[in-house]
Amino acid sequence: MTDKPTKSPAKLSPKAEETITRFEFTIQQSPEAVFWLDRHGRFSYVNNQACVSLGYTQDELLSLYLWDIDPDYSKDRWEHQWAEMQRAGKRIFETRHQRKDGSIFPIEVLACQINFGGKEFHSAYVRDISERNKAREDQAMLQEQLHQAQKLEALGTLAGGVAHDFNNMLSVIIGYTELLKSRVSDDRDASRDLMAIEKAALRSRDVTRQLLAFSRKQVISPVAMQIDEQIDGTMKMLGRLIGENIELEFAKSESTWKTRLDPSQFDQILVNLAVNARDAMPKGGRLVITTKNVVINEGQAKQKGDCIPGDYVLMSVCDDGIGMSSDTQDRIFEPFFTTKEAGKGTGLGLATIFGIMKQNHGCIELESEPGKGSCFKLYFPRNTAGEDQPETKQVYESGEGAGTVLLVEDDEMVRNMTAKMLERIGYTVVSVASPLQAISYCESGLHTVDLLFTDVVMPKMSGIELNQRLKDTYPDLKVLFMSGYAALVSDRNGVIKPGLNFIQKPFSKNELALRIKAIIGEPGKKPTDHS
């Protein structure tokens, strides 16, 4: 018998060989990493992208196991996944891979169970999703910013309505208190009680202003100013505020740019930050204020959220107090959020700072760690406008007012109180309850009016509309607007529209006297006859 001839392997056709070559080339050039793992979790095949993404050579990878490159996997977990894949056949999930240099990056995996050459393998197609996750995080951040903006807008609307009514009531309380103080100056008990009423009313006024500041509805008068000079001028006051057990230091730069800001707002920022730092250091500590010029590029601006690229003056206010947890930091600028005991804080201090910075196109950052203190970094835009003319301080003396004021105010209590203020200053007052009454008075042709003093928000006709109506007949008529909510006379940043004279409710007799004096001139000036 002769042995049967051995059967030689079938020879592939040129077309089949070309197809296999193209398949191998496609896999090797794939932008996704391709892995084959055997039953024991060891790599049996890797393509070029797998080597590039992980930083290994092909030989190095083929000597490793899955758990050598995946920090979330163990040998026991691999056994579980192998059994699960035998049942399911395919699975899509996210995990992490670790490069040869130790760096970790997120990935998406399409895993399949395959049979090849009579053996089972676990194949995986792996995609680096770092950019996708970054885009997802950016989208989440934008959504959060939108949510915060919507909350801010809602609060602004609420604050505006509250401010108008509340400031009217405070005007009456503060105004009558001020008038009564001059009449009971010899009565110590009565004077003390009136001072207590005034103090409470002024504190209520400040809370209202804080709400308006947070919602960016506060009336402001920004000027070109040197932050370093402003800080120098408040150091003594800040020292008294924080107490002797806290060391206060100001490390200023030699020459910082000017910024454009309402000085009273800046003082508000400093005071709130100082109080916050003091409360964070009950046993004493160190508070350091530093300033310097910085330039924020596009990449840095994106990281800082609302900041836009440009020149800024950076003020850092840092303490070595108790610090804050990450959860507290996430909520620290929310209105009415506070970590202080009941009755020791309104929860508006830092919210107010946030609102002021946004109102003035700046931005704010917080760095803090429990037990290691907190550092607030405030970026004020460099002033690009011209210099402001210095204000001429005017002095008011009781009874020096001269001329006739037409007072238009729909709230009876506010109207009566304001009329008394004006009379005490020395003006002749004609008070009416509505714009229509004011129009009737002026158009009678029988009267002389030196100043129209009108509320802005009134039923049927606003003070703005009243002024326009009267201007048609009396183009030289001088006007002073008042309101507890200045949205109708200010731009979206809270700056009073050019050419408008405005006083915010509640106001003092002295403030009112100086404001009117600046508008209608010195006493004894011949009144303008508008008849």
Q: How far is CA 466 from CA 430, 452, 485, in A?
A: 16, 10, 18
Poorest-pLDDT segment among 106-120, 244-258, 328-342: 328-342
**pLDDT the model gives residue 281:** 92
pLDDT at 398 over 80: no
Taking residues 27-55, report their average pLDDT.
89
- AA letter at 163: A
Q: 188-197: long-range contacts at Cβ-Cβ below 8 A with a sequence spacing of 24 or more?
A: 197/173
**pLDDT the model gives residue 75:** 77
Please tell me whether residue 143 adopts helix, strand or coil conformation.
helix
Strand-by-strand arrangement of the 374-381 sheet? 246-251, 285-296, 310-319, 374-381, 363-368
Q: Which residues contact 502 (CB under 8 A, 6 or more apart)?
A: 219, 480, 481, 482, 483, 486, 489, 490, 496
**pLDDT the model gives residue 9:** 54
From the list 424, 422, 416, 418, the residue with the least C-alpha distance to 404 is 422
Under the banding of pLDDT at 50, 70 and 90, the label for residue 498 is low
Tally the residues of the chain. 531
- Say how far apart CA 292 and CA 252 lie, in whole Å: 7
Taking residues 385-407, report their average pLDDT.
63
- Say how far apart CA 268 and CA 274 lie, in whole Å: 10
**pLDDT the model gives residue 528:** 41
Taking residues 229-240, report their average pLDDT.
87
**pLDDT the model gives residue 416:** 92
Taking residues 42-53, report their average pLDDT.
91
**pLDDT the model gives residue 487:** 63
- Say how far apart CA 289 and CA 270 lie, in whole Å: 10
Poorest-pLDDT segment among 82-96, 285-299, 481-495: 481-495
What angle in degrees, to the nearest 10, is found between the helix axes of 130-181 and 412-425? 60
pLDDT at 242 over 80: yes
**pLDDT the model gives residue 51:** 93
Q: What is the pLDDT of residues 364-383, one digit of tens each?
A: 999 999 989 999 999 999 99
**pLDDT the model gives residue 80:** 80
pLDDT at 393 over 50: no
Poorest-pLDDT segment among 17-31, 93-107, 513-527: 513-527
Taking residues 215-229, report their average pLDDT.
76
Under the banding of pLDDT at 50, 70 and 90, the label for residue 344 is low
Please give the residue that has the higher pLDDT: either 2 or 95: 95
Taking residues 74-102, report their average pLDDT.
84
Q: How far is CA 265 from CA 42, 233, 271, 311, 442, in A?
A: 65, 14, 10, 20, 39
Cis before residue 9, ω within 30 degrees of 0?
no
**pLDDT the model gives residue 524:** 43
Q: Which residues contact 194 (CB under 8 A, 6 or more apart)?
A: 177, 180, 181, 184
pLDDT at 316 over 90: yes
Taking residues 57-82, report their average pLDDT.
86
Average pLDDT along the chain: 81
Q: Which residues contact 147 (CB under 8 A, 6 or more apart)?
A: none
pLDDT at 185 over 80: no
**pLDDT the model gives residue 169:** 83
Under the banding of pLDDT at 50, 70 and 90, the label for residue 218 is low
Per-position DSSP letters for 269-294, written without gaps between them: HHHHHHHHHHHT-TT-EEEEEEEEEE
Contact 134, 105 (CB under 8 A): no
Please give the residue that has the higher pLDDT: either 335 or 112: 112
Under the banding of pLDDT at 50, 70 and 90, the label for residue 84 is confident
**pLDDT the model gives residue 336:** 65
Q: What is the pLDDT of residues 94-143, one digit of tens each?
A: 889 999 999 999 999 888 888 887 888 888 899 999 888 888 888 887 77
Strand-by-strand arrangement of the 428-432 sheet? 428-432, 404-408, 451-455, 479-483, 502-504
Poorest-pLDDT segment among 101-110, 173-182, 406-415: 173-182
